[in-house]
A and B are shown apart, each in its own frame.
Chain A
Amino acid sequence: MSSESLASSVLVRCLTSLRSCRWQKPVNMLVSRSAQPRGVPLLRIEETVEKTAVEIMKRAVIHVPKDIKEALRNAYEKETSETGRTQLKAILDNVRLGESQETPICQDTGVILFYVTVGSDFGDASFVPAALNRAVKAATVKVPLRPNAVHPLTRKNSGDNTGTNMPYINWNLGVGEYIEVTVMPKGAGSENMSSLAMLTPGEGASAVKRFVVDQVIRAGAQPCPPTIIGIGMGGSADIALKLAKKALLRPIDQRHPDPDIADLEKELLKGVNMTGIGPMGLGGTYTSLGVNIEYAYCHTASLPVGINMQCWASRRATARIHKDGKVEIVD
């Protein structure tokens, strides 16, 4: 049996065995297994991780996070440009329709990026990459997700959103008996507006501000504004871009704990919203809904800054899977 057909037969078996279990219930709430006798897991942990990953992918592409929805409503109320308001209304209508019809809000369900934190007492997590791979294939059919993953040169589409190094997993370590899985389905319109600059350290914040404003003007309508702007400062070239993307996972109603960075976030948001690019680049006040910055110390001779833009359809979802199989949807 080929590994492919083995994987799918395991998946079929797993899905069949799930029919009578509590996974059939929606999991956008805390799923507790307290009613089950202890020590009798309904699912093997691999299966729980796989099923949970499918659920969070579904949740991410259908439901806009609360902070984003709030920001979109606020923008709609306050936008002064008529065309801008029309765009924001269409966005809000679309969000509502997507939720009521359980349909992905945007056809670009992105490439699937995971952030996995493995707790110190979780035990062996070496099965996770294979489980997430199976989950992506299953979600592509079940949600459905648009098959987006292609070979970078031949452009051949794998048809199931997987391929070499895709889905991509960012690993972290934590303390506890759980693993936490965050999914960020990332669309291309905004991702294509990413940039990196190795700025002159002596120019400091001024160089950062100039770079961000210039990139927002350059991007114009392309990243589907109102956007969320993720900025990574410091580290090294690759770290700056990684931090920029990670910054997008923080809810936009939370400022950076460092007050100076928090001020820079607020100032930059004010600045980019002075461009007049507006919703969908058709003119208006709301070019961006939020600016999130993460930073790392860097070499004394460099100031790397990465920008990762996110469209209004900011998609993210997180679940925590405990060793005993209990699942919590965190975000």
Chain B
Amino acid sequence: MATFRYETPISETDVRKPNIGDSVYVSGTMITARDQAHRRALEYVKTGRHIPVNFEGGIVFHCGPIAIKEGEKWRIVAAGPTTSTRMESYEAEFIERLKPRIIVGKAGMGAKTAEAAKKFGAIYCDFTGGAAVLASQRIRTVKGVEWYDLGMPEALWILEVEDFGPLAVTIDSHGRNLHEVIQSSAQEKRSDILKALGVSQ
């Protein structure tokens, strides 16, 4: 297992280097986006409306943080990943249109995302689910927040991060998907498990 360190903006050549199972640390700008932000971003792309952030070469974080405002400045208290599956129906098009290089979340994504990652040059990484304090340690500053009308969890939080990780690469740019490998292996074990539990099949 190799370890890769990235700084935004990330080039296609660099992002194509890691394989599933490798570790990644990222520095630079990371933007949070969940279901509603994905949906709105794609809608804005289609209708030609202005999107207030630039995802190109950047990092999308599936996360709805707890943030508090101290005077004029926001501070992130806790910012772990949310379940990425909810973004599956948007992510392939998001990668194609808005060109982020790294998607960070938890629990993996599906075949459509893996295909887009391969075609357009991107990877998907897992950050430990629930490890929100650990994650917030690596967030240096909040550079801004957009689309706050979507609510605190769903807004776009523009974060400056340093050595954010370790992230586990679970979808690489070569079409491989670690969660799918583990999932199908679990499915293969199903009949043995049921046999061990004395279940008639």
Question: Contact check: which of A107, A150, A157, A206 meets B65 at CB < 8 Å?
Answer: A107
Contacts A107-B64, A147-B151, A282-B168 given: A221-B179 contact, CB under 8 Å? yes
Contacts A144-B77, A222-B83, A281-B179 given: A217-B152 contact, CB under 8 Å? no
Contact A192 B182 (CB under 8 A): no
B residues in contact with A155, CB < 8 Å: 36, 151
A residues in contact with B187, CB < 8 Å: 217
Question: How far is A168 from B134 in the complex, measured between Cα atoms in Å?
Answer: 30
B residues in contact with A108, CB < 8 Å: 64, 80, 82, 130, 132
- Interface: A300 (CB within 8 A): no
A residues in contact with B178, CB < 8 Å: 282-283
- Interface: B42 (CB within 8 A): no
Question: How far is A280 from B80 in the complex, measured between Cα atoms in Å?
Answer: 13
Question: How far is A135 from B185 in the complex, measured between Cα atoms in Å?
Answer: 46
Contact B126 A280 (CB under 8 A): yes
Contact B130 A281 (CB under 8 A): no
Question: How far is A224 from B200 in the complex, measured between Cα atoms in Å?
Answer: 30
- A-contact bits for B115-156, CB 8 A (1 contact / 0 none): 000000000001011111110110000000000000111100
Contact B189 A275 (CB under 8 A): yes
Question: Contact check: which of B85, B152, B179, B190 meets A146 at CB < 8 Å?
Answer: B152
- Interface: A288 (CB within 8 A): no
Interface hits, B49-86 → A, CB 8 Å = 63-66, 68, 77-80, 82-83, 85
Bin chain A's interface residue count.
35 or more
B residues in contact with A306, CB < 8 Å: none
Interface hits, A24-80 → B, CB 8 Å = none
- Interface: A238 (CB within 8 A): no
Question: Closest CB of chain B to A292's CB: distance in Å?
Answer: 17
- B-contact bits for A92-114, CB 8 A (1 contact / 0 none): 01100110010111111100000
A119-127, A207-215, A239-247: which one contacts chain B? A207-215
In this complex, the member of B129, B153, B193 whose beta carbon has the largest number of chain A beta carbons within 10 angstroms is B129
Contact B83 A192 (CB under 8 A): yes
Contacts A271-B193, A274-B192 given: A107-B80 contact, CB under 8 Å? yes
- Interface: A330 (CB within 8 A): no
Question: How far is A147 from B77 in the complex, measured between Cα atoms in Å?
Answer: 13
Provide 13 A-B residue pairs closer than 8 Å at the C-beta atoms, listed in order of the A residue. A91-B128, A104-B78, A106-B78, A107-B77, A107-B79, A155-B36, A159-B151, A214-B190, A220-B108, A221-B126, A224-B106, A224-B107, A282-B182
